[in-house]
Homo-oligomer: A and B are copies of this chain.
Amino acid sequence: MTDLAEPVRPAAPPRRRDAGATRAAILEAARIAFAATGYDRTSLRDIAALAGSDVALIPRYFGGKEGLFTEALKATIAPDRLRDWDRSRFSRDVAEMMAGAADIADPRTRTFQFLLQAATSPTTAPLLGRAVQERFLAPIRDWLGDEAGQERARVLAAIYIGFLVERLIRGAALEGPERTAFVERVTAVIDGVIGPG
């Protein structure tokens, strides 16, 4: 990891020695760093620097790198805010988002990258299926309404994931007419799934 951001810790800590706060800072830094660079390319030194604490605390507090990753994964698989989205604007919002570059600051991007990273790690791979079911399929199904069924959620989730991967691979944002055409078509595709029957 090259450079991400300044330390996560609050500017004026109420106590200069607070194990709970330190632990939380490390965990938050780990979520950011693991999502950004994956398990292997993220060193505990990176995480400690991002958390503004010492490397040696990590094995002590989390039992090691794997323990930290597991806990960060659990913390990342949280209920989505999909219900808050405006359904009439959903497809276009998603399309616009997909036309942009992958923004690591976006928690959704972070979550997705994290899950993708987890998929490639044999230790954490089994967690992924359940995570996707809980975090993607179930919310989407509920959001679409009961009449939609599992199948529409499945298709929508697949398309969503596909565009996330595409964006991840693409790197840069789309520009000009290509962006316009892309957004139009993605909007149409998603509308085709969530719209009628």
Task: Say if the beta carbon of A59 comes within 8 Å of chain B.
Answer: no
CB pair A151–B181 under 8 Å, yes or no, is: yes
CB-nearest residue of chain B to A118 = B169
- Taking CB atoms, residues of chain B closer than 8 Å to A121 are 38, 41
Tallying the copies of this chain within the complex gives: 2
CB pair B128–A169 under 8 Å, yes or no, is: yes
Inter-chain CA distance A155–B154, complex, in Å, is 18
Beyond A158-B166, A160-B162, A161-B166, whether A122 also contacts B185 by CB under 8 A is no
CB pair A189–B192 under 8 Å, yes or no, is: yes
Inter-chain CA distance A178–B150, complex, in Å, is 8
Number of interface residues of A (CB under 8 A): 47
**Could you mark each residue 161-176 of chain A with 1 if its beta carbon is under 8 Å from any beta carbon of chain B, else 0?**
1110110111100000
- Taking CB atoms, residues of chain B closer than 8 Å to A163 are 158, 162
A148 to chain B, nearest CB (A): 10
CB-nearest residue of chain B to A150 = B178
CB-nearest residue of chain B to A126 = B171
* 8 chain-A/chain-B pairs, Cβ below 8 angstroms: A38-B40, A38-B120, A38-B122, A129-B170, A152-B185, A155-B182, A155-B186, A162-B162
